[in-house]
Amino acid sequence: SSSSSSAAPLPPPAASRSTSQNDVHPKLRRDASDFEFGATLGEGSYSTVMAARDKHTGSWYAIKILDKKHIIRHKKVKYVDIEKNTLNRMNHPGIVRLYWTFHDQQQLYFVLDLARNGELLTYIKKVRANSLATPLGAFDLPTTQFYAAEILSAIEHVHEMGVIHRDIKPENILLDENMHIKLTDFGTAKILESLDDGGKDSLTRHRANSWVGTAEYVSPELLNDKSTCKAYASSAIISFLLILKSAAPNQSPTNTNSPAASPHLSTSSDLWALGCIIYQLLTGRPPFKGSNEYLTFEKIKNLQYTFPYGFPDVARDLVSKLLVLDPATRLGAPEQGGIKALKAHAFFEGIDWERLFELPAPKLH
């Protein structure tokens, strides 16, 4: 946030520029006065997202607004920086695009794609509530295959751009007006050092130390990596102390079954999350869920999950190859032929990877 206004690396797609804009002298820079703000779409602890209409073009966007004082006071400057830098690298139909960033005295603004249909999680819950339609409780197999393919396609692009997302979950998978996905929230992403300047190392490590993600989708190697999981570790310790206070646990709290902590973070953490999401799309619930974070982490580290009766064999085969404790052994890991090998799994048979985002999305029941 050194410049007062920075243009996005690429022009907006033709579809969103089709309204009455001045094509002779297009205004490339934007500030808050260029937008009419509408409904609040979401509120996080460090940001508010609002729908906003570009006064010049009529196009709608989602604008993420961050309060400068709050960001500085809570030492989140590096998170905001990572979010901007990683989003700027992305150019994929399944990932929210960053069009402009600007700031005024009080606030930072990220102008993003508006995903009109909100979070995938909402639809998993909705379909689950109407689950007369499906034997397992959520999406049918073709719908699951479609959304899993879109998510994988987005993940592939993130990794190709030298980034690990690290917080892929149904709340961060938004849906556009055509019910295609838009992956969002790169605030906890990691820029891979080999593809970036070495100077980013201490920066990203610092951010990783205060990272708080979502328990249910975190991979075992992230849980076991002390440098990335201070927040997880402390919340797990608090949960454990609460258990000690209420009832004597009959299990040892020390973790014995987990693999050795991996020295390097790998892209396969995002593939673990994909495995969790495919399971959740079919059943309506994540595979690892304890009554508190400590118990959830124990389940993850012990690979303690089961497939309900009726879980399709082809999905079972795929999920069991993604939910593997050793990140190097996971299907889709660089060591296992990469994402190409994962795309070749029978679960994805019939997927047209090139045209996925142009096809009509399956109807939800």
Q: Which residues bind ligand ADE (CB under 6 A)?
A: 41-42, 49, 62, 96, 112-115, 118, 174, 184
Question: To the nearest whole angstrom, how small is the minimum distance from the Cβ of residue 41 to ligand ADE?
Answer: 4
Give yes or no for a contact between 322 and 274, defined as CB atoms under 8 angstroms apart.
yes
Residue nearest to ligand ADE (CB): 62
Question: To the nearest whole angstrom, how small is the minimum distance from the Cβ of residue 313 to ligand ADE?
Answer: 36
Q: If you write DSSP's letter for every residue of 264-326 in order, what string do you get?
A: S--THHHHHHHHHHHHHHHHSS-S---SSHHHHHHHHHTT---PPTT--HHHHHHHHHHS-SS
Nearer to ligand ADE, 71 or 282 (CB): 71
Q: How buried is residue 197: exposed, middle or buried, by Cβ count under 10 Å (0-12/13-18/19+)?
A: exposed
Cα–Cα distances in Å, from 350 out to 88, 347, 353, 355? 32, 9, 9, 12
Question: To the nearest whole angstrom, how small is the minimum distance from the Cβ of residue 364 to ligand ADE?
Answer: 18
Q: Which entry of 113, 167, 185, 270 is annotated as an active-site residue?
A: 167
Question: To the nearest whole angstrom, how small is the minimum distance from the Cβ of residue 324 to ligand ADE?
Answer: 32
Question: What value, to the nearest 5°, has the Cα angle with vertex 105 and ends 22 and 185?
Answer: 75
Question: To the nearest whole angstrom, how small is the minimum distance from the Cβ of residue 62 to ligand ADE?
Answer: 3
Nearer to ligand ADE, 113 or 298 (CB): 113
H/E element, 5: strand 5-7
Question: To the nearest whole angstrom, how small is the minimum distance from the Cβ of residue 129 to ligand ADE?
Answer: 22
Question: To the nearest whole angstrom, how small is the minimum distance from the Cβ of residue 32 to ligand ADE?
Answer: 17
Nearer to ligand ADE, 108 or 339 (CB): 108
Nearer to ligand ADE, 124 or 324 (CB): 124
Give yes or no for a contact between 172 and 185, defined as CB atoms under 8 angstroms apart.
yes
Nearer to ligand ADE, 121 or 328 (CB): 121
The DSSP call for residue 47 is E
Q: Is 176 a catalytic residue?
A: no
CA distance 281 to 144: 6
Per DSSP, the chain holds a count of helices (H) and strands (E) of 11, 10
Which residues is 108 bridged to in the sheet? Answer: 66, 103
**How many CB atoms are closer than 10 A to CB 8?**
16
Question: What value, to the nearest 5°, has the Cα angle with vertex 251 and ends 210 and 232?
Answer: 5
Helix (H, G, I), strand (E, B) or coil at 202: helix
For residue 359, give both structure tokens.
Answer: 């096809």
Give yes or no for a contact between 339 and 332, defined as CB atoms under 8 angstroms apart.
yes
Nearer to ligand ADE, 186 or 240 (CB): 186
Nearer to ligand ADE, 41 or 278 (CB): 41
Positions marked active-site: 167
